[in-house]
Amino acid sequence: MKEKVICGIQQVGIGVNDFVEAWKWYYDNFGFEVKIVDDEGVAERMLPYTGGKPQPRRSGIAVNIRGGGGFEIWQPKGRELNYLKEPLRLGDLGILIAKVKTADIETAHNTFINKGADVISEIFTAPTGQKHFFMKDPYGNLFELEEDGYVFVDEKKTTGGANGAVIGVSDMERSLPFYMKLLEYDKIVFDQTAVFDDLKALPGGEQKLRLVILERSKPIEGPLSQIMGTSHLELIQAVDGPGKKLYEGRYWGDPGYIHLCFDVRNMAAVKAETEAMGHPFVCDSGADFGMGEANGHFTYIEDPDGTLIELVETFKIPIIKKIGLYLNLANKDDHKPLRILKLLRFAKVKRENIK
């Protein structure tokens, strides 16, 4: 059996109430102009998380060609959406914040303030020395803008793609093996329990928290690795006890961060390791799943608190559908980046064509 390869963070899933409006906001503000997928259909394979029956939806994956993970924008259709009954707080369990790369933190901060965006903090220096600030999108989702020099295609954009996530956990010692061994964010660069000044602007940030920042010791690898780039994870545990589970009593796809997705190679090897560690697949698409013009194999596992982690082995991505130009990844080297990946810049869409 071939070895498991974790290539990087492919995307952060975001449940929204209006697909077109949300994508246009991420397009205008974060530069998510490249369309990987846009598909309307029925989610048939997530039944444990969608009330036991298939649910209509529209979903799309968009990326920023500067580099970083994408966003999977997901709008449930044909049903009433369930919103959080109480506002999100640090200490809650699930994906709390999506991180976004920026080439110039001061310019990004000033730009969003001048646009009238919901910027909720000044610029701080994180414990790792990285400058960052927090803001919200119009739907209440928290974003952390982080100064990061990674570039895939330099188009002089202020922001890049996703840079990781902040995840609430109930028991740090139980969660660390999951993220460090299974997902290979194996390097602890910070581990401290305190009241953190840079988190006080966030709900729940005034309490004592244990914060662990994880990076990968391996360099990025895999066919799509160069567009996904580097990333890191932050795990947060409230010292006085965990808060609510963000999706308890709600369906996957309801508004908020629905999953964190990792691009992988060799799903059979991934499955063997997830099962050995006590985190078996809870959903499995099978090895030839089509989503729009893209094709691959997706599965889901749960972290120790039930937070959904998606694993995707990508086989085909459309570039210019009308001329039959695709990236075919099925038989590519599991470790080497795909040299023609910069062709993805031709998959940009015009804003007016997001309908």
- Amino acid identity of residue 155, one-letter, is E
Tell me what pLDDT residue 333 has.
94
Neighbour-count burial of 2, counting CB atoms closer than 10 A to its CB (0-12 exposed, 13-18 middle, 19+ buried):
exposed
Q: Does position 316 have pLDDT exceeding 80, yes or no?
A: yes
- Amino acid identity of residue 134, one-letter, is F
Q: Does position 180 have pLDDT exceeding 60, yes or no?
A: yes
Q: Does position 327 have pLDDT exceeding 90, yes or no?
A: no
Average pLDDT over residues 244-262: 97
Q: Does position 19 have pLDDT exceeding 80, yes or no?
A: yes
Q: Enumerate the β-bridge partners of residue 165.
A: 98, 233
pLDDT tens for 147-162 read: 999 999 999 899 999 9
CB atoms within 10 A of CB 144: 22
Q: Are 256 and 97 in contact (CB under 8 A)?
A: no
E-state strands within the chain: 5-15, 34-43, 55-63, 70-76, 94-102, 118-119, 124-125, 131-136, 142-147, 159-168, 187-194, 209-215, 232-238, 256-265, 283-284, 289-291, 294-302, 308-320, 325-328
From CA 251, how far away is CA 303, in angstroms rounded?
17
Average pLDDT, the chain: 95
Tell me what pLDDT residue 286 has.
83
Helices (H), ranges, 158-297? 172-177, 225-228, 267-276
From CA 77, how far away is CA 39, in angstroms rounded?
13
Single out the residue of 206, 303, 318 nearest to residue 247, CA to CA.
Answer: 303
Quick one: which H or E segment has residue 27? helix 19-30
From CA 307, how far away is CA 182, in angstroms rounded?
14
What structural domains and CATH numbers belong to the chain? 5-353 (3.10.180.10)
Tell me what pLDDT residue 161 has.
98
Task: Report residue 292's pLDDT band, with 50, 70 and 90 as the boundaries.
Answer: low
Q: Enumerate the β-bridge partners of residue 296.
A: 289, 314
Its pTM stands at 0.96
Q: To 5 degrees, how large is the angle CA 296–CA 298–CA 304? A: 160
Distance of CA 341 to CAs 213, 223, 225, Å?
Answer: 30, 8, 9
Q: How many residues are recorded in the chain?
A: 355
pLDDT tens for 104-150 read: 999 999 999 999 999 999 999 998 899 999 999 999 999 999 999 99
Q: What percent of the chain has pLDDT over 90?
A: 88
